[in-house]
Structure 1
Amino acid sequence: MQPSFGSFLVTVLSASMAAGSVIPSTNANPGSFEIKRSANKAFTGRNGPLALARTYAKYGVEVPKTLVDAIQLVKSIQLAKRDSATVTATPDHDDIEYLVPVKIGTPPQTLNLDFDTGSSDLWVFSSDVDPTSSQGHDIYTPSKSTSSKKLEGASWNITYGDRSSSSGDVYHDIVSVGNLTVKSQAVESARNVSAQFTQGNNDGLVGLAFSSINTVKPTPQKTWYDNIVGSLDSPVFVADLRHDTPGSYHFGSIPSEASKAFYAPIDNSKGFWQFSTSSNISGQFNAVADTGTTLLLASDDLVKAYYAKVQGARVNVFLGGYVFNCTTQLPDFTFTVGEGNITVPGTLINYSEAGNGQCFGGIQPSGGLPFAIFGDIALKAAYVIFDSGNKQVGWAQKK
């Protein structure tokens, strides 16, 4: 993922996969493993407008000022609830509350990172960031790692649709996730960060999209997954995201619970896990499976058709998206994967409280993007298989 723009770190940049990237050394025959996400203790509750703005920024859609204002409005509502002596605010557990511990360097420095299938950079807060900007974050200190080696002449610079940015240097270092170690992984070490990044509670992310959209210049680097995939029993990983519990990622094998998945071929020409689908309220369209996005974003027509089934649902211009009465029971959302169907329960689509008895929907307009974004609202309904070997995605409905 990640409660700020810092959770969604990479705007899509056009980059070609360059030859000559360092070939990493990995430990022998790790086979497959599962890594569980851990709770982010700094989580303070869901903010619907913020989740929507993050995704717009990530994919280069201009963030309207009204949406920026709405973020602060919802934050003020949440603060008022926490300060009240008569109303108790119990933050919902959510995808943005969970992170993955990752060890970097020798001796290992542990940072809590978000796994993001919608980007391709391993980005971290570092000791080069001004201490006032990195406060509250665990940081990577290259000088304290005996295995760290600076990649001279390499840099990265991420810019969002709202013109916030982050940039820095690149190191090669040991990176361990679970029981698997890559001995020469590109680690993008932040030097400058915008305020939106510093407000997050995660320490960076691990991009799991395709290496073709890695942002390092002059030579794009391989993702951590691309570096270890040859050592796995099978070239796959599975996202098992959960509601009200951390969930996990499986690398190198498919858990038995996901054995009855439906599959669809992917188009990775833009670097994403993109597949063709259709829904029970719309025709054929393309969608990107993105663990680094919270909401489900789709075309205006599809979103309008969905909320036409919800009595009293409307676009709230102050909150920047569709809202409805919190007592309303939302309909399910069903979409196709290959020859099968996956259903997102309506309970998952009621994303967050927005004040005055209104709730913010987990399905929102995509801002004119040429594809839908199936974020965690959709992903939590299924085991999602990212199969790079067969260039396909699989979805297995959760019961």
Structure 2
Amino acid sequence: MWTTLSCFAAISLVAGVEALQVFSLPVTKVELPPDAVRRIHKRHVSSPLLNKYPYFVVDITLGTPPQRLQAQLDTGSSDLVVLTSGSDFCTSNPDVCSASGTYNANSSSTYQYYASDLSIAYLSGEVATGDYANDTLTIGSVALKNFHFGIMYNATVISSILGVGFDVNEFASFLNPPRIYRNLPLALVDAGVIPTAAFSVYLNNIQDQAAGGSVIFGGIDTEKYCGPLARVPIIANSFLGIREYTINMQSVSATRNGEPVVFSAGAASLGPALLDTGASIMILPDALAGQIFDFVNVTVGPFDILGKTPCSNMNEDITFNFEFDTITINVDINQLVGIPDENNMCFFGIVAGSTFGDPEIVLLGDTFLSSAYTVFDVENKNIYLAQAKLNAVKENIVQINAGVNGVPQLNGGCDGNPATTTTTRSTTQSTTTTARSTTRSTTRTTTRTVTRTTTKNTSRTTARSTTSRRSTIKSPPKSTTTKKISTTKKTATSKKPITTAAPKCNRDNCYNALAREKAEGVKFCSKLKKGIKCSTPSRVAAACSKKPMLSSACSCLPTSLGYYG
């Protein structure tokens, strides 16, 4: 069922006053029928997850005349890929696809074929093949002509996906030769809709189907969070650099009835954590997940992915505390307890990493992100976190400006003491870039309050009328040629990332090594061996032997390799 779009872009203030350059979209919760399978995350799932939690979509249209689709908002991928009615999933679930919409290239007069090399293979076994194409993408009142996207003609993937990750993590970046194009956050900058590649996400209360969320490109909403926005730098993968929204997580603890609970497995640094709106649940290291399961009486069946906890836990005074470099986000247990079964046992929104092939993985999906207000500063490679204010109805939109300190440092509009805890660890910004700014105006019909910040840290509030997945293109190694699909050129200056993930070996690194080895031949391995000690590469190959096709790539890798999720 389609929701009414209540979005605005480049909003006019009063006459003669510069327009605010932000673009806001409602985010809607969607629940699949019980028999439809739900993916967790593209590169981490080894088996399907039955839909026990909602996922979050935005409404878009593609083509001329416009074809309406619901696309899952996904910070864990970087491409817009859309389903067709003939895909494997849609032929098996026609009612689901009819409700969410599919794309038909033959029905669009503005469709332009690009290439037939879309190929997506997930470790879960989910696959998609099809074409790359250009067409007019319309989101709310913004139309982006010749937008580049993928069409999944053959796919077991269950929904269209709007990826808003870094452009260097696009599927085409792993082709030979690799291609990189301007995905949605960058295309909005190029079109002058927003001044910088940055956006904020507010998912809202998972337990309330009617509680709407939002994604604001180029802005934040100070009424949706408590306390300050704390900057946490995105950390680099020691193998592939910065490719995803991964930050360092220090610890996980809990409180019960106000009393602290310490998990010994969560007391030390847990390393890189991926922030992924495309994942319904959290995935935590085995040892930590096991201690949490004991704490709230979670049982996991021998053939189950999700564990179950007594539904009465939803009403307990239990909070889980996720500590990062500069802030702690608190997650109430009611955001983790899902649909009950016939025995009044409820599914629990944390899964152990070994279920998905990596006992040390940290992936923070929707059961975490519903409690966090998250700003993704793509331009400067930073994440900003604050405690989300659930069920908020007020709105105060503030623009994110271009530059190193473009994200406004404004406290959220919570009553009483904020639930956020700040700490004093020092962080350093990793990259500085400059984006161009273009003013656009539209005429609207209802009143909204907007605060605009200036570079002098002053602000003004004006009543106005309104209706109703990095800007730096990172090149691959010099031995390859990168084809940039977009003709719009953008320059940026980079600084060396200041934080590096703790080295680990896992199957994803082997997978990416295989892709790079295929693109570069022996040059890749020889270069890696020159720069990194590789005393016992056979141990790495053995660690990845469960995926035989990857063993050749693993054999050239060092025994310890940076995590890449």
Task: Please tell me the TM-score bracket, short chain as reference.
Answer: 0.7 to 0.9
For residue 315 of structure 1, report the CA deviation from its aligned partner: 2.8
Residue of structure 1 equivalent to 2:335? 348
SS of 1:308's equivalent? helix
For residue 127 of structure 1, report the CA deviation from its aligned partner: 5.8
Distance 1:119 1:386, change over 3 A: same
For residue 134 of structure 1, report the CA deviation from its aligned partner: 7.1
Aligned 1:100-115 pairs, distance under 5 A: 100-115=58-73
Distance 1:313 1:127, change over 3 A: closer
User: What is the one-letter code of the residue matched to 1:275?
Assistant: I
Contact 2:29 2:54 in 1 (8 A): no
Higher RCO, Cα 8 Å, sep 6+ = 1
For residue 357 of structure 1, report the CA deviation from its aligned partner: 2.4
Cα distance in structure 1, aligned partners of 2:359 and 2:169: 18
Q: CA RMSD in A?
A: 2.9
Q: Deviations over 1:216-259 (max 9, x none)?
A: 34534332222223431343111110221231111111112347
Contact 2:352 2:359 in 1 (8 A): no
Cα distance in structure 1, aligned partners of 2:120 and 2:385: 31
Cα distance in structure 2, aligned partners of 1:271 and 1:332: 31
Contact 1:182 1:224 in 2 (8 A): no
Cα distance in structure 1, aligned partners of 2:363 and 2:32: 24
Does residue 263 of structure 1 match 2:217?
Answer: no
Does residue 301 of structure 1 match 2:287?
Answer: yes
Cα distance in structure 2, aligned partners of 1:163 and 1:45: 20
Gaps of 5+ in 1: 1-25, 76-91
Q: TM-score, normalised on structure 1?
A: 0.75
Does residue 135 of structure 1 match 2:62?
Answer: no
Contact 1:208 1:223 in 2 (8 A): yes
Aligned 1:199-218 pairs, distance under 5 A: 200=158, 202=159, 204-216=160-172, 217=175
Residue of structure 2 equivalent to 1:362? 349
Cα distance in structure 2, aligned partners of 1:370 and 1:226: 33
For residue 362 of structure 1, report the CA deviation from its aligned partner: 0.8
Contact 1:46 1:352 in 2 (8 A): no
Does residue 331 of structure 1 match 2:303?
Answer: no
User: What is the one-letter code of the residue matched to 1:135?
Assistant: P
User: What is the one-letter code of the residue matched to 1:248?
Assistant: S
For residue 369 of structure 1, report the CA deviation from its aligned partner: 5.8
Aligned residues: 334
SS of 1:37's equivalent? strand
For residue 147 of structure 1, report the CA deviation from its aligned partner: 1.7
SS of 1:174's equivalent? strand
For residue 330 of structure 1, report the CA deviation from its aligned partner: 6.9
For residue 389 of structure 1, report the CA deviation from its aligned partner: 2.1
Q: Deviations over 1:284-317 (max 9, x none)?
A: 121111000010111011112222322x333322
For residue 35 of structure 1, report the CA deviation from its aligned partner: 0.5
Residue of structure 2 equivalent to 1:375? 365
Contact 1:291 1:379 in 2 (8 A): yes
Q: Deviations over 1:38-96 (max 9, x none)?
A: 454x644699xx66xx32x6224433xxxx6x84xxx8xxxxxxxxxxxxxxxx9x542
Does residue 150 of structure 1 match 2:95?
Answer: no
Aligned 1:185-196 pairs, distance under 5 A: 185-194=147-156
Q: Considering only CA atoms, is the larger Rg found in Structure 1 or Structure 2? A: 2
Does residue 59 of structure 1 match 2:43?
Answer: yes
Runs of 4+ in 1 over 6 A off after TM superposition: 26-30
Cα distance in structure 2, aligned partners of 1:46 and 1:349: 21
Q: TM-score, normalised on structure 2?
A: 0.54
Cα distance in structure 2, aligned partners of 1:170 and 1:376: 29
Distance 1:251 1:100, change over 3 A: same
For residue 322 of structure 1, report the CA deviation from its aligned partner: 2.8
Cα distance in structure 2, aligned partners of 1:370 and 1:288: 12
